[in-house]
């Protein structure tokens, strides 16, 4: 590559021959984003399209438009019972994991010192192992305690175990970027520790709490490996019921069930936006 000497004696390098204009770079960037988002949304489009298929089999593209498979879902006793059970299980899992994860995050950031990193690794360890291994370990542990398999308590513990890390990480992030001078100001004005927490700390970290709770509910509602190993009679979540149904039937009812799960996740986000505001779920990584 040749060099040119300017009038002031400095050496300037000519623009490389492969230089891409800014407009072309912008176009390539937007095209890449469109491809990525399209790749991520394509399975959802296929599932929804198969759910409204007028044909008798689970195929895509649909052979006409029909909502009869949604009607069949709501007329199916096993599916409705599994759906209601998953809602109850997900709600209780969310409450439990939110409480445990928030308390653990507060202790880690505010009080833990010597064993902080060990506690952090312990809390996030369920994310490091496949859920199927966690389920097998819990199943062996339950039998070792004489609990057996298929209890509601055992299933709930398994769901809480794999959802607590989401709350823990979300709340920890907000606490690390928390301005402690706000609490000090409240204490200097005469507020007790409890009053300071509920009136100052909790409103500020609620974004992390709600975001962790949303992830907990969605992960619990769609949890398959843990539910498959720890389910029992009368404790069958919706993903397991769908799995059993697909073993013997292959009609669009399965796609309708999946579509309802997708709509439920969207509804959770919309309700959060309505009553909390998604902007409160965002936090800065620095100040």
Task: Give whichever of 10-19, 193-202, 272-281 has the largest mean pLDDT.
Answer: 193-202
CA distance 212 to 227: 21
What does the pLDDT read at residue 284? 44
What does the pLDDT read at residue 93? 95
pLDDT tens digits, 168-193:
998 898 888 777 788 788 888 888 88
Six-digit token string for 123: 């809390």
CA distance 234 to 34: 44
pLDDT tens digits, 38-57:
888 888 888 888 888 887 87
CA distance 185 to 181: 6
Task: Say yes or no to pLDDT of 87 above 90.
Answer: yes
Mean pLDDT of the chain: 82
Give the contacts of 71 (CB within 8 A, at least 6 positions apart): none
* Contact indicator for 132, 197 with CB cutoff of 8 Å: no
Question: How far is the CA of 109 from the CAs of 104, 125, 223, 277, in angstroms?
Answer: 9, 18, 29, 26
Domains of the chain, CATH where assigned: 77-281 (1.10.3720.10)
pLDDT tens digits, 6-35:
555 555 555 555 666 778 778 888 888 899
DSSP run (H or E) holding 287: none
Residue 48, classified by CB atoms within 10 Å of its CB into exposed (0-12), middle (13-18) or buried (19+), is middle
How many CA atoms lie less than 13 Å away from 41 in the CB half-sphere? Answer: 6
pLDDT tens digits, 121-134:
888 888 888 888 88
Global pTM value: 0.80
């Amino acid at each position: 590559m040749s060099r040119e000497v300017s009038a002031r004696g400095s050496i300037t390098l000519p623009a490389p021959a492969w230089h891409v204009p800014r407009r072309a770079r912008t176009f390539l960037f937007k095209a890449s984003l469109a491809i990525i988002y399209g790749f991520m949304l394509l399975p959802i489009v296929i599932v929804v399209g198969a759910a409204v298929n007028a044909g008798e089999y689970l195929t895509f593209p649909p052979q006409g438009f029909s909502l009869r498979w949604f009607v069949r879902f709501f007329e199916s006793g096993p599916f409705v019972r599994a759906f209601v059970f998953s809602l109850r299980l997900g709600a209780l899992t969310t409450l439990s994991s939110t409480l445990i994860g928030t308390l653990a995050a507060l202790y880690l950031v505010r009080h833990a010192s010597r064993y902080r990193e060990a506690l952090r690794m312990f809390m996030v360890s369920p994310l490091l192992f496949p859920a199927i291994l966690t389920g097998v370990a819990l199943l062996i542990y339950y039998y070792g305690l004489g609990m057996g398999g298929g209890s509601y308590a055992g299933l709930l513990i398994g769901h809480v175990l794999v959802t607590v890390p989401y709350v823990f990480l979300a709340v920890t992030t907000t606490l690390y970027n928390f301005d402690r001078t706000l609490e000090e100001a409240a204490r200097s004005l005469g507020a007790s520790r409890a009053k300071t927490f509920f009136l100052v700390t909790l409103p500020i970290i609620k974004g992390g709490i709600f975001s962790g709770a949303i992830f907990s509910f969605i992960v619990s509602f769609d949890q398959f490996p843990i539910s498959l190993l720890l389910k029992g009679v009368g404790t069958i979540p919706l993903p397991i019921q769908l799995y059993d149904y697909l073993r013997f039937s292959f009609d669009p009812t399965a796609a309708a069930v999946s579509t309802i799960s997708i709509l439920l996740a969207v509804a959770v986000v919309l309700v959060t936006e309505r009553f909390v505001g998604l902007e409160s779920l965002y936090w800065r990584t620095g100040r």
